[in-house]
Chain A
Amino acid sequence: MSRFAIETVGLNHHFGPQAVVKNLSLQVPRGSIYGFLGPNGAGKTTTIKILLNLLQSPADTVFIFGQELNHNRIACLEKMGSLVEQPAIYAHLSGKENLINRCILLGINKSKADEMLALVGLTEAATKKTGKYSLGMKQRLGIALALIADPELLLLDEPTNGLDPNGIIEIRNLMVELTSKHGKTILVSSHLLAEIERTATHVGIINKGEMLFQGTINELQDLSKPSIKIEVDDQAAAANILSSNGAEIINEKEGNIHITYTGKADMGKLNTLLVQNGVTVYSISTDRKDLENLFLDITSKN
């Protein structure tokens, strides 16, 4: 059995002349919450549609739990629940009827419908026509529809779109619970890092169809090189001493000097040097670039 819930091998996709997915090698480990990040138009939805076989892909490029997608379409789809872009809901039916319709299609017990309504907090709106639902309510129903078959793998395309802060937190907790308690795997796309930073175990960052980073959330954090901020009375003298002793100065202004962090011992040595040479050191602190900026950096390079 493959160690990956989703694996793509050199996946490409074109819309006419436009290459939307370029040589994408997605690797979503089992049991992970994989944050699929990228700005609008990056190709996230397109990739998810390929994973669902809604868009054609060449043979031997997409594997779901180790099974080749094109040859095992139904077996693969049985393992996946999905919410793609705006939730697809029959507007003339009520929330409950939408769920019952899905129960019919999946051959599952209709009592599941009430259970799912309760799970996403729509019990009171169960009999209301979904055409009259707010965007957030539709999104909740979309999530209920994705979950109703209790799939091993969930593909959620920007699931928190239109949700209120409470709803966002609920979805986050739900995702954590599904992976930690029920061993599910979740691929969740977003254009905001902040949104998945706290829940994702793995991250893939895509821009213009290309994967720019893929790894664990810790690996992503390691990428943001920590730096040291030193606040001194005499900036010029301090900069001089630091650079002549091998420190890498990132920038300096208004009495603050940023240098690359190279280890505790080095930092202590530099501090002593500054003091011995008559520079007053007001403060020394580590300065970590936050992930949001890192994300912006990565996606704006191309």
Chain B
Amino acid sequence: MTVSQAAPEDLRAEALAALSGATDEAALEQWRAEWLGRQDGRVTLLLRAVREQPADQRAAFGQAANAVKQALEAALGERQDALKQAALKTLSTTAALDVTLPGRPQTIGRLHPVTQTMRDCVKAFQEMGFRVAEGPEVEWSAYNFDAMRIPDDHPARDMWDTIWVDTLLNGERKMLLRTHTSPNQARVMERTPEPPVRVIVPGKCYRQEATDATHEWMLTQIEGLAVDEGVRMSDLKGVLYEFARKMFGQDRKVIFHHSYFPFVEPGVEMAMDCFICRGSGADCRTCHGTGWIEILGAGMVHPEIIENAGYDSARVTGFAFGLGVERVALLRWGIEDIRHFYANDLRFLGQF
């Protein structure tokens, strides 16, 4: 074999010179292949040539060749490190980001604010032991009105402007879009042979009503009902007080004042102190300067309704309340117009 064999020291000088000319990952790899390649790298060949050396020189040659290999490997390592460092340096300097640019949009879905508020309300009552039930939105007037002690030709019907379904049964109009969730008081008690009853009934209601910033013809209510021996009006206040604090802050206060609903006796409306102005704003938009915000109607279930359920009204008492979910949502976010809810404009919905 007549391979002209350069001395190991010469090879080392040549290789290191070549290495200093390699300025990127590709050039380094090419250099590695040329010098340290497993098959035919020049240093590999050198090491292979050890066997061809005369016996007396073999050890020295081998040592020198190995030293060259190690030196080159070390130099390559250093060089690779330096390049890596330089690259990292570039990443954080010339390749630095403008971190104030916006992030890539990630799609996030949202629940409708009425659903969110509904769930929060439901949760507040569930924590107080209330079960949840639902009832039909299209309802018999017998449940919506008669069972609630609002007979035909009763002036209290003015309180609920009704949308009637255009069907006749035995020549009479009996089907309507429920005007409130209260018919479920009768429905729930009907299927509960014995108290206790402790239930909330959320759902949509409908009113034949002109809409404005505070009135919408489709609305969401939560009916509450607790019937048992020993249920008192003070418990009603306790439950609603707890609710107001859960929804609007621990320092809320509530008051009752007299009201009238044919299905409760006594009947009250509940107001809570204004959490916006805390009673000090003469021109507060939320409470109109009164310091109080009316949030719901309530009362003790009329004994006749208790009796109609087959319970003994002398032993069993109950309370009921009806809460407007949109009203709670308007208050908690300071929304100025109830009509936003069912306009479904994403510019509105996307904020909750």
A binds B: no
